Structure 1
């Protein structure tokens, strides 16, 4: 049995709690948060040990094997290093950290204490995305010309106002670091590392420090061109999350309000009957095994057979680096003239 603890009991911790409960050989034994009311609620429903200090939790329960880091992004490095120094494996929510220096400090601590790091990039496990990955690995679209990712979501002002750290550069980041990082992870998982970045970003609608809208063009080392559009300012509700791939022998678009559905697939190497079967399979089960469940189950197996997790610290670092590269170029054009919803 692999024993899990979670630090940070906000919304995202619920996904970890649900996933751990579904995995044979995994057991949640502890929670840690400074919000004592939230801890009391969870303790009643889950019947696990609760702590307000991570060091105390680790001292009290040496049988903990894995710590899931679900605290605000700017705190990941502090909590991850404490857990690594105690010899605990780490599952770290996205983004892994907000700076490369913090990422590298976490990796160094994990290496020194011989613990594993998995980073939560769950979109890789969606059935439609898995089908796209299979197709690209098979080369059925031929030479790829370009790829487009779009994130047109709504995060209202109440979302940013619910906690003082949301939308800050020090603790959270903007749409790129907090939402679109999953799309950026997919791009590099599918096409490799990025060689060149050109970007613009701004804070147009929401009252926050970081960007609420960003656009960027990318050139991958393999030669593929990419376009990124990301925003949390869409009126009223999430509109679209998509990835579109265009090649010499076909194209595919995975989309919907979240990128869970095959919206278009036209390829000389696949018959209409095959595509229709894939579409039906995805529509019958667009989620499949949840990404969190897949990542946590993978960590259990990685510990048992002593291998690296599927989504590694290197993957998490690459996603953070791409966000930072886009932001660095985009800051040349960044302003706050739109802050607070000024119309121009």
Structure 2
């Protein structure tokens, strides 16, 4: 466990360094050192002032999605589940796109706030509809899929009927992007991680039991509905903070938990921190690839993760069918 975590941390550190150095303009480690000391030239300062917030946003959002994915898969007892299954990602997309369509001049902070509000509304709706069945895992999944589908339809309608000049901005948000981010926009994600990770680790035993069946937790005195609600609130807050930081990014919450379990096993006290680190690593690498392969053009980070995540999803589906 310690060796695996150390390797993943080292890989994440290397990915962050590469993200700072690579892009439409190549930098050296000495440039970064001078920037940290406040003695860099004007061009280097301009580049790093734009690049550092993007790198931080990618790392924070990826970590939040990786941790949220682990929580959702345990609660739903579904190896193919991911945070978007709760409808939160779709709700955030509706909020952001609606504001972009109605107020084309809205800034990044306003769009992020609208996305967080949409994510909150979607989660409350899922919780209100699913609690009638005791927040059972199957009911949560079905309600989340339904809310997500409705959110996707609403998003399409909003894009079609609102200001056509806002379509590009809306599609950029829906595809996930770190463009134009500021350091302050990563603060909600950092706060969510600081609160959620200790609580998730404290509930690691409950996650282990919930991932088995409904009977074992009851026998051992674990209240199912309250436990599921607490964990879903954590997953919802993490997902909302990630979406408000970088937009809609898929598959990270699916891939990172699977890789974590393959590396350190299914015990959640070991898998949770590794899933967090792997999520940060995946989004950081995806963002760097999107900024470099077609430089000076850019590929949205959500598109890059989809290109990697879709084949992995098919692989997991095939393994599940064989099992």
TM-score bracket for this pair, using the shorter chain length: under 0.3
TM-score (norm 1): 0.25
Please state which structure has a larger fraction of its residues in strand: 1
TM-score (norm 2): 0.26
Please state which structure has a larger fraction of its residues in helix: 2
Question: For the pair shown, which has the larger CA radius of gyration, 1 or 2?
Answer: 1
